[in-house]
Chains A and B, each alone.
Chain A
Amino acid sequence: MKKFSGVSLPQLTEEIVRNARKTRLDAFAVALEGWRRGLKLKWYTKDTPHFDDMIVFGVNPPGRLFSLSSEKRTHFFFRTRGDKVSNEAVEIGSEKGDTKIWLDKAGVPIPQGKGFPAEATDEEIIEYSRTLDYPLVFKPTNASLGNGVVTNLRDEAEFRDAVNYVRHELGYEEVIVEQHVSGKEYRLYVVEDKVIAVYNRIPANITGDGKHTIEELIELKNYERRQNARLNSCLIHTDQEITEFITEQGHSFDSVLEKGKQLMLREKTNVSSGGDPIDVTDEIPDNIKQIAIDAVKAIPGLHHAGVDIIVNEDPAIKQPAVVLEINPTAQIGGALFPLRGKARNIPAAIIDYYFPETKGIDTSDSKIYFDMTTVLEPLEDRTAIEVEVAPAPMGKLHAKRYVVIGDVQRHHYHRWLKKQALDRNLNGHVKNMVFDEIEIIIAGTDKKEVDGFRQILKQYPQGSKVAKIEEEVWEEPVTVGFEITERYNTSTLRAAQYSLRKMNQELARLTKQKNRINKDISHVFNSTSWKFSTPIRKVGEIVKGKK
């Protein structure tokens, strides 16, 4: 099996982002970066008045709205977008027609074209299309995620079909007609006058190996995507569009794809419809990056955003690239977790911009994080409106894993350990293992305290029965605070879901262990020497019996 080969940021491992999916991942990544730099982090529900003046959407579930504060000031964020981005800029960005007008005005290259309001008749639109050179693109003005975008229309018949489909079948009446610029599409993330990340989005695709059918290859590709923190929520779903697309290319789900052949499954490049993000930041020339920077500058009050461009391969067009779209609330998962290439630290760039005084703080080896599920718990059912995350320990984190063996599985002991840890500003958890073992993770900035905790483990006043302590340096991520991981907590919905997940893991672990032991046993039984020694064993039993 080919493993996912993108290089993600060391401070954003799969474990750390486990409970932050989709657009929650964007918010989490930015919030985590600010928090790790020592800023105060608060999460909100949509009912908070703090975001009354900010354009937000899809915020019914918590985990998208947060604020970061230094001693001097507070900034509010919706996903990746902070409060320095004006509402006007957001509005311009969400209307593709307006975006075009502003970009054009500033001399930023765009595909030739025009937006039409809902009142415009189909004939008007078709009339206008005759002034452009085919192939054309037809798309709704304000749909997101590539919905209703029809590209590469080669003649008027195809164009008419597209108009009918988008305006009448899908019901997007406000539309844009523009020139189809052939070339590779890229998404750039710009903060002020710098391009932080560039990634290429390849439409959902598979590569043949001469053995597997297309259906199986899609399955395998999804397996690969599942390993990637960003892509595991965006698997390839074999829908009508894919079926038609591969049929058109003369394939079916049952056909075996020849070795090395790459097959595109649709035209759309969106990551959410199965597209592959591939980092190319270092490969894109500066003149193209400058176009994206200019595009962000062209929209007043924007400052930072995602910019979609096409690098032009059409010799008839002079510009090296054209800007298709601007996204003030861009998703950045693709840049953080590329399927190939290197991850780019957009969250750091955003925090640098909002809190330049924290610029020097390097979080790249930070292992501390907070669990989104736990922190958002009371926001989920709206019992609370606001939760302030415990401050991140600042400075180098030292961590140890202790395995304590003895009569140590009592809850009282664990509660006492929690108090000892918290009183010493230490973070981590205690967890019951099988039999008579517990695992304790202890992490803190004071190495002496972390190492000294070994002594504490034995000091439980009610007569602790610690038989043995094993210790090792712990390199894995650690959550802030101290948790007693109980197997069975059903006091709240979240707790129950959490327990369920944990118990499933535990069951899998136990089953594995059991199978291993059974394998050992059957190995002994089946071993030829065991069979040979049958008579000896009998003698042994007789001897034993006499003792």
Chain B
Amino acid sequence: MEEVKKEWLPHLHDEFVSEADGTLLDAYVVALEGWRRGLTLRWHVKDSEKFKDMKTWFVDNPGLLFSLSSDDKTHYFFRSRGDFVTNEAVEIGMDKAKTKHVFREKGIPTPEGKYFSKDESDDQVLEYAQQLGYPVVLKPIDGSFGKGVVANITSDGEMTYSIDYVRHELGYKDVIVEKYIPGEDLRLYVVDDKVVGAIKRIPPHVIGDGINSLEALIELKNEERSLSPRLSSCLIESNKELLDYIGRLGYSLNSVPEKGEQVFLSEKANISLGGDPVDVLEELSTDIKKTAVQAMKAIPGLVHGAVDMLLYKDVNINQETGYVIELNPTSQLGGILYPVKGKARDVPAAIIDYYFPETKGRRQENEKIYFDLFDVLEPLQSRQAHVSTVTPSPQGKVYAKKYTVVGDVQDIGYHRGLRKQAFERYLHGFVMNKENGDIDVIVGGLDPEMVDDFKNAFWEDEERATVLAVEEMPYDEPLKVGFEVKADIKTLKEELEALNKEIEQTTLEMKKAEVKRRKLYDSLSWKTTKPIRVLGAIFKNK
């Protein structure tokens, strides 16, 4: 296994984001940052308020649209993108042909290439590739997540095959052909005129150990990826593209690479396809960063977002150039926040600094506070509610304690009573059953006196709990706002499981009975006896 050195942000520890996977993660980390700074955080359903006028997609389920407000202003966000970014900027950013055109005009380095609409023939595309000179890249105009991108095409044969694959098999008729630039795949996050985070993306790969097959190595790598909030939803898939790629390198899934041998599984470095994010913010030259900022500035209204570049190093003249490939106004942040190697960079903080400069640096003391995304979104799921406002984060140092209560204390009514006591003291936390019959109660808040005073609360409900002893210790772990009665769910779950079994059993019995009834009714004899039955009924009535 690879030795990795990584430093994630302590205030975005994976416990905080465990509920937010995929694109929810970007929205959650930006929302969390604003909320911790004391801004009012609201979650919205599709099309509510300003979102009607904002360019968004895949927002049928809640969790991607939110707003942050201070006393004098409100900003709306779709994932990591705020309302300072104009719709026009989003549209241009999504159109690779348009961005290419703009870069040309502004003199920003970008690989030479051309756009082909669906009306242009495969031959025309092939012809252009020949004219441009191999190696080339073929990609769809509006694909995302690296879908349908074929890089490093070196011959007419490969080109013909790729055109067929992209335009006909995948159905992306509008394509771009451009010069292939060998080099590192970079993603830089720019806010205003500053690069605040940068990663290089290493294409999916494994390192051999002389024992395991490629298939097993991929599985091991995926297990490791499952541990990262960003990568857990982006495992390496052994699909056709991958098999084609390793086939070209002379491997199959059964091959056993030698110890220490690095085997790439794809040309594409997209994290969603299994690429590894590695932090490079400090290594990048000022020139490269400048190119990224210029690329963003080239699109009016694109005040923050990600720039994808290829870093070409000409060893002969010892010079490097960053070729801008595309812009991403609604970028995922996970790679920068959870790199497999290097330091995480606080992009959410930079975004909030930009929208609410007056709150800069206001977060020092409550970095351990977070909120339950799922709970907040609950009534939005069925759209019975349109907006839900998260309980404000405690502003200041949060003081917390863990109490272990010994005795006969697992009555749910007792726990609900504790919850009420917590609310009355403005405390957050939870109560959880322990295996041995005791409970752990975590409470935290701004007022240490209230937290200390809570130990008295345990003794007040003699009807429902016999308390023998209360132990206390400091608590330094993350803390959710609100107060959760965790035992409840566990007990209810057991009850539900039992009930579910009973329902299944009853359903089964009912089905059996139904079959039996049908057989009976259908049986020949029942039908033939009909006259007898009718007669019988007449007799009975008499």
Q: Mark B431-466, 1 if CB is under 8 A from A, else 0.
A: 000000000000000000000000000000000000
User: How far is B383's CA from A52's CA once the two chains are assembled, in angstroms?
Assistant: 29
Verify B388–A387 contact, CB threshold 8 A. yes
Verify A496–B482 contact, CB threshold 8 A. no
Q: Which residue of A lies closest to B377 (CB)?
A: A378
User: How far is B529's CA from A47's CA once the two chains are assembled, in angstroms?
Assistant: 74
A251 on the B face (CB < 8 A): no
Determine, out of A231-239, A458-466, A511-519, the stretch whose residues face the partner at the interface: A511-519
Residue in B45, B423, B483, B532 whose beta carbon sits within 8 Å of that of A533 in the complex: B532
A240 on the B face (CB < 8 A): no
Residue in A47, A391, A497, A510 whose beta carbon sits within 8 Å of that of B492 in the complex: A497
Verify B525–A390 contact, CB threshold 8 A. no
Verify B480–A383 contact, CB threshold 8 A. yes
Verify A521–B517 contact, CB threshold 8 A. yes
Determine, out of A155-163, A274-282, A325-333, A499-507, the stretch whose residues face the partner at the interface: A499-507
A47-B391, A493-B488 are known contacts. Are A524 and B526 too (CB-CB below 8 A)? yes
Residue in B489, B503, B521, B526 whose beta carbon sits within 8 Å of that of A490 in the complex: B489
Verify B392–A492 contact, CB threshold 8 A. no
Residue in B371, B492, B506 whose beta carbon sits within 8 Å of that of A496 in the complex: B492
A67 on the B face (CB < 8 A): no
Verify A500–B525 contact, CB threshold 8 A. no
A146 to chain B, nearest CB (A): 24
Chain B residues, Cβ within 8 Å of A518? 513
Q: Which residue of B lies closest to A369 (CB)?
A: B384
B388 to chain A, nearest CB (A): 5
Q: Which residue of A lies closest to B502 (CB)?
A: A507
A378-B379, A493-B492 are known contacts. Are A510 and B386 too (CB-CB below 8 A)? no
A378-B379, A493-B492 are known contacts. Are A388 and B391 too (CB-CB below 8 A)? no
Chain A residues, Cβ within 8 Å of B533? 527, 529
Chain A residues 499 to 547 lying within 8 A of chain B, measured CB to CB, are: 499-500, 503-504, 506-507, 510-511, 513-514, 517-518, 520-521, 524, 527-530, 532-533, 536-537, 540, 544
A500 to chain B, nearest CB (A): 6
Chain B residues, Cβ within 8 Å of A46? 423
Verify B386–A386 contact, CB threshold 8 A. no
Q: Which residue of B lies closest to A390 (CB)?
A: B386
B509 on the A face (CB < 8 A): yes
Verify B371–A533 contact, CB threshold 8 A. no
Chain B residues, Cβ within 8 Å of A98? none
Residue in A389, A493, A513, A527 whose beta carbon sits within 8 Å of that of B489 in the complex: A493
Verify B383–A480 contact, CB threshold 8 A. yes
Main secondary structure of the interface of B (DSSP, over half): helix
Chain B residues 475 to 503 lying within 8 A of chain A, measured CB to CB, are: 480-485, 488-489, 492-493, 495-496, 499-500, 502-503
Verify A494–B378 contact, CB threshold 8 A. yes
Chain A residues, Cβ within 8 Å of B424? 60
Chain B residues, Cβ within 8 Å of A513? 510
A371 on the B face (CB < 8 A): yes
B360 on the A face (CB < 8 A): no
Verify A382–B388 contact, CB threshold 8 A. no
Chain A residues, Cβ within 8 Å of B520? 521, 524
A419 on the B face (CB < 8 A): yes
Verify A490–B493 contact, CB threshold 8 A. yes
A481 on the B face (CB < 8 A): yes
Verify B489–A492 contact, CB threshold 8 A. yes
Verify A533–B525 contact, CB threshold 8 A. yes
Q: Mark A54-69, 1 if CB is under 8 A from B, else 0.
A: 0000001000000000
Residue in B378, B384, B390, B507 whose beta carbon sits within 8 Å of that of A390 in the complex: B384
A402 on the B face (CB < 8 A): no
User: How far is B471's CA from A142's CA once the two chains are assembled, in angstroms?
Assistant: 40
Chain B residues 505 to 523 lying within 8 A of chain A, measured CB to CB, are: 506-507, 509-511, 513-514, 516-517, 520-521, 523
User: How far is B484's CA from A518's CA once the two chains are assembled, in angstroms?
Assistant: 45
User: How far is B539's CA from A54's CA once the two chains are assembled, in angstroms?
Assistant: 77
User: How far is B529's CA from A422's CA once the two chains are assembled, in angstroms?
Assistant: 54
User: How far is B388's CA from A536's CA once the two chains are assembled, in angstroms?
Assistant: 70
Verify A384–B389 contact, CB threshold 8 A. yes
Verify B514–A517 contact, CB threshold 8 A. yes
A381 on the B face (CB < 8 A): yes
A412 to chain B, nearest CB (A): 13
A389-B384, A511-B506 are known contacts. Are A503 and B493 too (CB-CB below 8 A)? no
Verify A510–B503 contact, CB threshold 8 A. yes
User: How far is B163's CA from A373's CA once the two chains are assembled, in angstroms?
Assistant: 55
User: How far is B386's CA from A480's CA once the two chains are assembled, in angstroms?
Assistant: 11
Q: Mark A451-495, 1 if CB is under 8 A from B, else 0.
A: 000000000000000000000000000011111100110111111
A480-B383, A482-B382, A524-B520 are known contacts. Are A384 and B510 too (CB-CB below 8 A)? no
B405 to chain A, nearest CB (A): 20
A388-B388, A391-B386, A495-B378 are known contacts. Are A488 and B510 too (CB-CB below 8 A)? no
Chain B residues, Cβ within 8 Å of A511? 506
A480-B383, A499-B496 are known contacts. Are A532 and B506 too (CB-CB below 8 A)? no
Chain B residues, Cβ within 8 Å of A492? 374-375, 378, 489
A60-B420, A492-B374 are known contacts. Are A500 and B387 too (CB-CB below 8 A)? no
A449 on the B face (CB < 8 A): no
Chain A residues, Cβ within 8 Å of B503? 487, 503, 506-507, 510
A479-B384, A493-B492, A503-B496 are known contacts. Are A381 and B375 too (CB-CB below 8 A)? yes
Chain A residues, Cβ within 8 Å of B390? 383-385
Verify B382–A374 contact, CB threshold 8 A. yes
A189 on the B face (CB < 8 A): no
A278 to chain B, nearest CB (A): 35
Q: Which residue of B lies closest to A480 (CB)?
A: B384
B382 to chain A, nearest CB (A): 4
B540 to chain A, nearest CB (A): 9
Verify A533–B383 contact, CB threshold 8 A. no
Residue in B377, B391, B492 whose beta carbon sits within 8 Å of that of A500 in the complex: B492
Verify B500–A487 contact, CB threshold 8 A. yes
Q: Which of A384, A391, A480, A510 is most buried by chain B, counting CB atoms within 10 A of its CB?
A: A384
Verify A388–B386 contact, CB threshold 8 A. yes
User: How far is B372's CA from A435's CA once the two chains are assembled, in angstroms?
Assistant: 36
B60 on the A face (CB < 8 A): yes
Verify A378–B529 contact, CB threshold 8 A. no
Verify B391–A510 contact, CB threshold 8 A. no
A14 on the B face (CB < 8 A): no
Verify A533–B528 contact, CB threshold 8 A. yes
A409 to chain B, nearest CB (A): 13
A216 on the B face (CB < 8 A): no
B423 to chain A, nearest CB (A): 6
Chain B residues, Cβ within 8 Å of A507? 499, 502-503, 506
A129 on the B face (CB < 8 A): no
Chain A residues, Cβ within 8 Å of B506? 507, 510-511, 514
B207 on the A face (CB < 8 A): no
A78 on the B face (CB < 8 A): no
Verify B529–A530 contact, CB threshold 8 A. yes
B48 to chain A, nearest CB (A): 9
Chain B residues 324 to 383 lying within 8 A of chain A, measured CB to CB, are: 371-372, 374-379, 382-383
Extra A-B contacts (18), CB below 8 Å, given A503-B500, A510-B507: A46-B423, A60-B424, A370-B384, A384-B375, A384-B391, A385-B392, A390-B386, A435-B511, A479-B384, A483-B382, A484-B382, A493-B484, A493-B485, A503-B499, A507-B499, A513-B510, A517-B513, A521-B520
Give the B-binding residues of A (Cβ under 8 A): 45-47, 60, 370-371, 374-378, 381-391, 418-419, 422, 434-435, 479-484, 487-488, 490-497, 499-500, 503-504, 506-507, 510-511, 513-514, 517-518, 520-521, 524, 527-530, 532-533, 536-537, 540, 544
Give the A-binding residues of B (Cβ under 8 A): 45-46, 60, 371-372, 374-379, 382-392, 419-420, 423-424, 426, 428, 480-485, 488-489, 492-493, 495-496, 499-500, 502-503, 506-507, 509-511, 513-514, 516-517, 520-521, 523-526, 528-529, 532-533, 536
5 nearest CB pairs, A to B: A481-B383, A382-B482, A386-B389, A388-B387, A496-B492
8 A-B pairs with CB atoms under 8 Å apart are A378-B376, A378-B377, A382-B423, A390-B45, A434-B507, A484-B382, A488-B500, A500-B499
